[in-house]
Structure 1
Amino acid sequence: MRVSLCLLASGIATFIAFGANAEDLDCNNPVTQADMTACERARQETADKALNAQYKITRAALATLDKDLGADGGAEKALVKAQRAWMDFRDAECEVTGFQARGGTMEPMLVAGCIAGLTDQRTKQLKELAETMGN
């Protein structure tokens, strides 16, 4: 009996440590808190990849603008500065959001969801900026 309990506890600990495979998750209908958190983290990762791709495009557009205007790197440099400030804001804002469930199992889900949402918004902003620069 004691061995069975140890094996069960070990199995649960392994599942918690490694989580379910992303392929096993139904993020359209997550059931457990662990699933909800995993889905928000996957959404955060997807949003981050899209942001990074768009940031490269926007930065290239501003570098081209600098060359066309004969500027000394002003637009691209301003974008880099703004992006760093935005990342600090996003992380701080989402940390505050997490306090709704501070110390609870929902906290990581809230933070990941906040990061994903703000990252999606920033990606749209960067896309609009690149489009206004002619790309």
Structure 2
Amino acid sequence: MQKFFLAIASTTTTFTLFLTLRTFAILSPQPPALQVAQQPNCKDPQTQLEINTCAGIEYRNADQKLNQVYQKLLLRLPASRKQKLILAQRAWITFRDANCEFERSQFEGGTMAPAAKAGCLANLTKTRTAQIEKYLEASTL
């Protein structure tokens, strides 16, 4: 009989706790659906997380510019040269990714690895953008 009362008391306590938490959750103000994280200070990053984040941002920006210049060049080339550029660009991407993976491997397992890879990707992408900009300038002459 004592076990029966203990089981009922336990169930009642659990149910009461559940109702209290549910009521609290319903009455509590809900956080906004979307919260914007603080932007990193890429002019003077202070933590490894900021360095990694800023390196990633730098790469994304460089990649976006490369794609814009690449698309402009594609529009100006005759069909016979477009295919050659596409082939060259695919080979370059394969090289870039493999080369930057190699650079990242120097820091395997460390917190610097993401920044090393993103920095490499950004640098090679900027160099490739400059090459394509020269092709673009030559195509307008």
TM over 0.5: same fold?
Answer: yes
2:131 & 2:76 partners in 1: Cα distance?
14
Query: For 1:104, which of 107, 110, 120 is the aligned residue?
Result: 110
SS of equivalent residue, structure 1 residue 55:
helix
Percent identity between the two aligned chains: 37
Uncovered stretches (5+) of structure 2, i.e. residues with no partner: 1-35
1:75 aligns with 2:81: yes
Partner of 1:124: 130
Partner of 1:59: 74
2:114 & 2:103 partners in 1: Cα distance?
10
- Give the greater-gyration-radius structure (CA): 2
1:33 & 1:52 partners in 2: Cα distance?
28
What is the identity, as a one-letter code, of the residue corresponding to 1:103? Answer: G
Name the Cα RMSD after superposition. Answer: 1.4
Uncovered stretches (5+) of structure 1, i.e. residues with no partner: 1-19, 67-72
TM-score under structure 1 normalisation? 0.75
What is the identity, as a one-letter code, of the residue corresponding to 2:61? Answer: T
SS of equivalent residue, structure 1 residue 24:
coil
2:76 & 2:126 partners in 1: Cα distance?
20
Q: Paired residues, what number?
A: 106
TM-score under structure 2 normalisation? 0.72
Cα displacement (A) at 1:85: 0.3
Pairing 1:1-135 to 2, within 5 Å after superposition: 21=37, 24-62=39-77, 66=78, 73-134=79-140
Cα displacement (A) at 1:98: 0.3
